[in-house]
Amino acid sequence: MASRMRADAQRNREQILCAARDVLVAEGVDAALDEIARRAGVGIATLYRRFPNREALLQGVAVDILSRMVEAFDRVRAAQTDPFEGLRLFMHAAVDLRIGAIMPALSGRFTVEGALSGAGRDPLRELQQLLGEAQEAGLVRGDVLVGDVTLMVIRLSRPLPGDVVPQDRDIAHRQLEIYLDGLRPAAARERAIRLPGPAIGFAWFNKIRERIAARD
Amino acid sequence: MASRMRADAQRNREQILCAARDVLVAEGVDAALDEIARRAGVGIATLYRRFPNREALLQGVAVDILSRMVEAFDRVRAAQTDPFEGLRLFMHAAVDLRIGAIMPALSGRFTVEGALSGAGRDPLRELQQLLGEAQEAGLVRGDVLVGDVTLMVIRLSRPLPGDVVPQDRDIAHRQLEIYLDGLRPAAARERAIRLPGPAIGFAWFNKIRERIAARD
DNA sequence: CCCCAGATGGATGAAATCTCTCCGCTTGCT
DNA sequence: AGCAAGCGGAGAGATTTCATCCATCTGGGG
């Protein structure tokens, strides 16, 4: 069905999705659709033809991001690096994909299941596994959970507020590197006290998903 | 002049500033003033009497945050801890003060100078000094600059998007602890490559300030 | 304890913004 | 070359936000 689209239409669709990622991550779920269209360099009508309403667009963005995520994962696996390096590559990819854009979309605005089945696999589960491998190999400190990875990546994928800051993306990648250094076992060894706050694992995300599902 | 205000008015003013911090950091500079008033538990008229326009409110928030920042700094200095611990306390305080709220406000919406003179001192300069002390004492890795501290704190002070996430604040503090571990020298020692991206020092911030000033 | 200047909240009209459709023109594909 | 699919932008209608006005209330000085 996608291949039956005219080439220019296909291209426009992709540009819309890309612009939507940027705008959603900057302004949240309620971002003006006009701006997304403008940023994509297409008319507003084009956006509406491709995605009949806001929800469809959010869903489209989520599927797009999640499947690119899965692709990134396969690339990382294929590269056969050690697990820490894999984690590093994956997190940088997630920042570039602006994964934070799907986060607000999860607020019951569309079904997570739909987006996941669209992507085919669940990146969160695969990340969980990768993190486990890195910890077993002694390359990542034992007291962090998958949430410590994902939620930081979500933060880093948003632009700094006020758009006064040039090189926003590069700054995020630099901060990610420092955070990654904080994930190493040596970093934990100098701690005086235990890591505070809510330790967020896989189960936590399931609880959130359930809560969202319950909103219907 | 502040003391000549009636007690309830004073209290309301503080509640408005506090609510404004939360809303600004969540929604950006263009947040609806109605919501700030509602969140503060006061009528919209009360907000307008205290701050005749949006700009005045932004300025008020900035002065409030910056002066609390200076106070936090004095508390840290008075505690006589080692410089790393000082940095730690200061960063946690900045997250709690929602310092990200003043960032978008810097986009030429009011004068930074005004806010700084309102606070009396420049927290950025003091932070710069504290960081230097920590590095000289060998407690913080040498390849980070003041921007690596401030810009992460700004990120951490914003709530995660979509407000699906409970315990938002606690998560930020936990992530800050991991980031702090990444700032230790031992964390840097395992690096294969140099820290990438733009190294952001004191001069960089001055350049931003100049650019904003030039917008007038 | 009384009194009123100063403080309060919410209604309100004007203005801005956003959503979504309609329609005449353009363009990729066979 | 023909035409079906695609396109952009205008604009009506709905919604949101701004900023003011005014009738009522109350803290605290005398």
Identify residue B18 by its one-letter amino acid code: C
* Two structure tokens written together for A103: 């986060």
Counting every residue written for chain A, the total comes to 216
Predicted confidence (pLDDT) at residue A214 exceeds the cutoff of 90: no
Please check whether residue B42 touches A, CB under 8 A: no
The more confidently predicted of residues B105 and A177 is A177
Residue A4 domain boundaries: 1-52
Minimum-distance CB partner of B178 among A28, A148, A212: A148
- CA B176 – CA A135 distance, rounded (Å): 20
Q: Is residue A20 part of a domain?
A: yes
Least confident span in A90-94, B49-53, B158-162:
B158-162
Question: What residues contact residue B166 under an 8 Å CB cut-off, 6+ apart?
Answer: none
- Chain A positions touching B189 (Cβ under 8 A) are 186
Asked whether residue B57 is domain-assigned, the answer is no
CA distance B98 to B84: 21
- Partner B contacted by A183 (CB < 8 A): yes
How many CB pairs (< 8 A) connect A and B?
165
Stated length of chain B:
216
| Whole-number pLDDT of residue A206 | 83
CATH assignment of the domain containing B47: 1.10.10.60
B9 sits within 7 Å of strand C by its CB: yes
Q: What is the CATH number of the domain that holds B174?
A: 1.10.357.10
What phi, psi does A134 have (nearest 5°)?
A: -60, -40
Domain count for chain B: 2
**Separation between Cα atoms, residue A96 and residue A59, nearest integer Å:** 19
Residues A36 and A93 placed together within one structural domain of the fold: no
CB contact under 8 A, B175 and A151: yes
Q: How crowded is residue B137: how many other Cβ atoms within 10 Å of its Cβ?
A: 11
Q: Are residues A123 and A32 in the same domain?
A: no
Q: Give the per-residue pLDDT at A113.
A: 61
Same domain, B101 and B207: yes
Of A162, A167, A212, the CB nearest to B103: A162
Are A104 and A178 part of one and the same domain? yes
CA–chain centroid gap for B143, Å, is: 23
Q: Which residues contact B97 (CB under 8 A, 6 or more apart)?
A: B21, B65, B68, B69, B72, B157
Residues of B in contact with A30 (CB under 8 A): none
The Cα–Cα gap between B109 and A213 comes to 41
Provide, in whole angstroms, the distance separating residue B10's CA from nucleotide C3's C1': 22
The answer to whether the CB atoms of A171 and B164 lie below 8 A apart is: no
Task: Specify the pLDDT at position B111.
Answer: 56
Residue B96 lies in a domain: yes
Together in a domain, B138 and B71: yes
Judge whether A132 lies within some domain. Answer: yes
Contact A25, A98 (CB under 8 A): yes
B160/A156 Cβ within 8 A? no
Write out pLDDT tens, residues A45-91.
Answer: 999 999 999 999 999 999 899 889 999 999 999 999 999 999 999 99
| Rounded CA–C1' distance between B213 and D11, in angstroms | 39
Q: Does A210 touch chain B (CB under 8 A)?
A: no
Q: Cβ of B168: how many Cβ atoms within 10 Å?
A: 15
* Å separating the CA of residue B26 from the C1' of nucleotide C9: 25
Residues B25 and B100 in one domain: no
Locus of tokens 């599927």: A63
DSSP track, B37-61: HHHHTS-HHHHHHHSSSHHHHHHHH
Same domain, A107 and A194: yes
State the smallest CA–CA distance between residue A211 and chain B in angstroms. 9
Q: Is residue B20 part of a domain?
A: yes
Least Cα separation, residue A14 to chain B (angstroms): 24
d(CA A108, CA A59): 11
- Is B188's CB less than 7 Å from nucleic acid strand C? no
Q: Is A103 at the interface with chain B, CB within 8 A?
A: yes
Please tell me whether residues B46 and B70 are part of one structural domain: no
| pLDDT of B58 | 93
Nearest to A183 by CA among B174, B166, B95, B158: B174
In the three-class reduction of DSSP (H, G, I as helix; E, B as strand; rest coil), residue A199 is classed as coil
* Cα distances (angstroms) measured from residue B20 to each of A12, A29, B100: 39, 21, 12
Residues in B touching A195 (Cβ below 8 Å): 174, 177-178
**pLDDT for res A128:** 95
**Best-predicted range by mean pLDDT among A92-106, A193-207, B86-100?**
B86-100
pLDDT tens column, A119-167? 568 888 899 999 999 999 999 999 999 999 999 999 999 999 987 788 9
Residue A32, pLDDT > 70, answer yes
